[in-house]
Structure 1
Amino acid sequence: MSNSLLIIGCGYLGLRVGRIAQQSGWQVHATTRSRFGTLAAEGFDPIAFDWNDSRTLRHLPSATHVLIAVAYDRHSRVDRFASQVDGLARVIRYLDDGRPAEQSADLCYISTTGVYHQTGGVWVDESSPTHPTREGGKAHLAAEAKLRSLRVGRPTTTLRLAGIYGPGRVPRAADVIAGRPIASPPTGHLNLIHVDDAATAVMNSFDNQRFASRARSPLYVVADDEPVVRREFYQEIARATRSAEPTFVDPMVDSGVRFRSETDKRIWNRRVRRDLLPQMQYPTYREGLRDVLQSVPRT
């Protein structure tokens, strides 16, 4: 049977995964609530779907592989846990209903390194304890547990992604270029992954030939080789764009940046480097920023 991919949540990452799959000859289905023209222009089969609406489950096609990369919609009437956990469970039950384990789709679920609570710049990996303090991390951790309970004996991989950046998405780059103060602490570590490397990790998680001599892990943390202190990251943006040295101001009390800065950990990527990304296109933020910012107008 030829390979096919169902992308549930075809956003910034999903689009790139779909393009790689399509280039490999896979048929790609992608769910959306409104971006039908965009997905069709990519050559994908757009599927009208909202995992908070059970009536749309019947729209989901069968596929050999499934990527679930659904970001929470802050404007939704459904709360975060009802969406991220119950919505996920609804999809899994529908896709697996009546299928023996050996006929199940190979599934990749996108989680976040926000499940880690550690501070002080300590190193964390797949075995580190997880006691998230923010609602997003709590919801993803609960979704991971739900996924494990529902897919016992079925091929499933969870990828806890660090902060994704890439073309059109570099945190605070516009502020640095414009000379505006950065509303962020200059200290603490950023853990990052270029979107192209993240997409490669997803596709490689589906490659059974990689695991002919070694069992595939059910869990990977996905980050590049060099966690970076925030000040150094923004200084690199300034150097790459020939902008002034960045300055910093305290973020607002209720801002997401302040909440994220309350944790400070460094991701140890040994397992994903061994299994999924032995050759990373952008092994550190320097190579990634150089590629992303080379076409940005200099000041």
Structure 2
Amino acid sequence: MNNRPSVLIAGCGDVGSRFGLQMSRAGWTVYGLRREAAGLPVPILPVAGDLLVGQCPRNWPNAELSYLVYAASASQHDEPGYRQAYVEGLRNVLGWLEQRGQRPKRLLFLSSTGVYGQNQGEWIDETSPTEPNGFTGQVMLEAERLALNSGLPATLVRMGGLYDPARPWLQNQIRAGLRVDREPPQYSNRIHRDDAAGLLAFLLQADLRGVALDDCYLGVDNDPAPLHEVVDWLRERLGVTHWAEQSMTRRAGSKRCSNGRARALGWAPKYPSYRDGYARVALERR
């Protein structure tokens, strides 16, 4: 009899794959569901399926599933695209579980700190009001409610801005002379992609041990820094001296998200600040 815990990652993209590899190394059986499942890293077991199609994937696992992690991302960045990815996709997966008579111990739903509309530099935690201004946060709240009302024990993980220096979007912006407003400070919240995966792994392993989980955690590092500080630090590290003519306009508001609840449970980010996460960015000499 196989007593290994198992997890199915629905929408197994970059963070899902990193998380799945961590769980596999910990001895778990890991299934990854996405359209192009053949490209998943070994030993994640591929489940080829489309979250936006009502029909259950043909190679859906027959074994009992210990956990479900919903980690989809929108491929179309308009309101219908968001609703399909987060609401309709989750509804389909929950329906497939019901069809197969499977009842995981818990559902982890990857959400976003975009559900908070605060923009005056306020400190935010899991109990703060969620009053998003745009459709992205509003649709995410709709998906969160679906997860919490799914009939499964559910935990939301509201992630900050995911980053990895190996994906140099921010560095490229800074090399182009990225200019951001300094007053008032535009606070930004981030989490390294490996830490995002690590937080998911930490929560599932805690649940398996019988630790009582809350229904929501913020996935951010310890340092909700003003964006101009991040830019200044990276400019110096990259040897950039010029500025673009226009400032970048931020749409994500300005708030400071606390990871205190996750840290109180025993989690600690490997990269507690952007300085740690970007430490390998080479100093360029001109």
Global fold match (TM > 0.5):
yes
Contact kept, 8 Å, 2:180 with 2:228, in 1: the verdict is no
CA RMSD of aligned residues (A): 2.6
One-letter amino acid of the structure 1 residue matched with residue 224 of structure 2: P
Aligned match of 1:85: 87
- Structure 1: give runs of 5+ residues left out of the alignment: 252-256
- In 1, are the aligned partners of 2:53 and 2:92 still within 8 Å (CA)? no
Rate the CA distance shift 1:298–1:109 in 2: closer, same or farther, 3 A.
farther
Matches within 5 A, 1:36-185: 36=38, 38-39=39-40, 41-61=41-61, 62=63, 63-74=65-76, 79-97=81-99, 99=101, 103-151=103-151, 154-176=152-174, 178=175, 180-182=176-178, 184-185=180-181
Please list the CA deviations of residues 113-170 of structure 1 after superposition, one character each: whole Å capped at 9, or x if unmatched. Answer: 000000110111100001111221111111000111112xx33211000011124235
Distance in 2 (alpha carbons) for counterparts of 1:114 and 1:248:
28
How far off is 1:76 after superposition?
9.1
- Asked if 1:233 is matched to 2:230, the reply is yes
Instruction: Write out per-residue CA displacement over residues 175-220 of structure 1, whole angstroms, 9 at most, x where no aligned residue.
Output: 32x3x122654541110111111111101111236865x6211100
- The superposition leaves residues 258-295 of structure 1 with CA deviations (integer Å, 9 ceiling, x where unpaired) of 422xx211102110111151x3211111111104x24x
CA distance in 2, matches of 1:248, 1:21: 46
1:98 Cα offset (Å) = 6.8
Question: What are the equivalent positions in structure 2 for 1:179-218 lying under 5 Å apart?
Answer: 180-182=176-178, 184-186=180-182, 187-208=185-206, 212=210, 215-218=212-215
Indicate which of 238, 244, 249 corresponds to 2:246: 249
Seq. identity, %: 27
- Aligned in 2, Cα 1:58/1:185: closer, same or farther, shift over 3 Å? farther
Q: Which moved more, 1:104-113 or 1:75-84?
A: 75-84
Structure 1 Cα separation of the partners of residues 78 and 247 of structure 2? 29
Runs of 4+ in structure 1 over 6 Å off: none
**Is 1:284 equivalent to 2:242 in the alignment?**
no
Letter in 1 for 2:150: L
With normalisation by structure 2, the TM-score equals 0.87
268-277 or 226-235: which moved more?
Answer: 268-277
Alignment length (residue pairs): 280
Question: Are the structure 2 counterparts of residues 192 and 246 from structure 1 closer, same or farther at C-alpha, using a change threshold of 3 Å?
Answer: farther
C-alpha change, 1:65 and 1:210, in structure 2 (3 Å) is closer
Structure 2 CA distance for aligned equivalents of residues 210 and 77 of structure 1: 36
Using the TM superposition, name which of 120-129 and 27-36 deviates more: 27-36
The runs of 5 or more residues in structure 2 that have no matched partner are: none
Shifted more, 227-236 versus 84-93: the winner is 84-93
Aligned 8 A contact 1:238 1:246 in 2: no
Range with greater deviation from structure 2 (77-86 or 223-232): 77-86
Counterpart contact for 2:47–2:57, Cα < 8 Å: no
Distance in 2 between residues matched to 1:297 and 1:11, nearest whole Å: 32
Q: Distance in 2 between matches of 1:115 and 1:20?
A: 28
Match 2:261 to one of 266, 271, 284: 271
- In the alignment, the residues of structure 2 paired with residue 46 and residue 245 of structure 1 have an alpha-carbon distance, to the nearest angstrom, of 47
Q: Answer 1 or 2: which has greater helix percent.
A: 1
**Alignment partner, residue 31 of structure 2:** 29
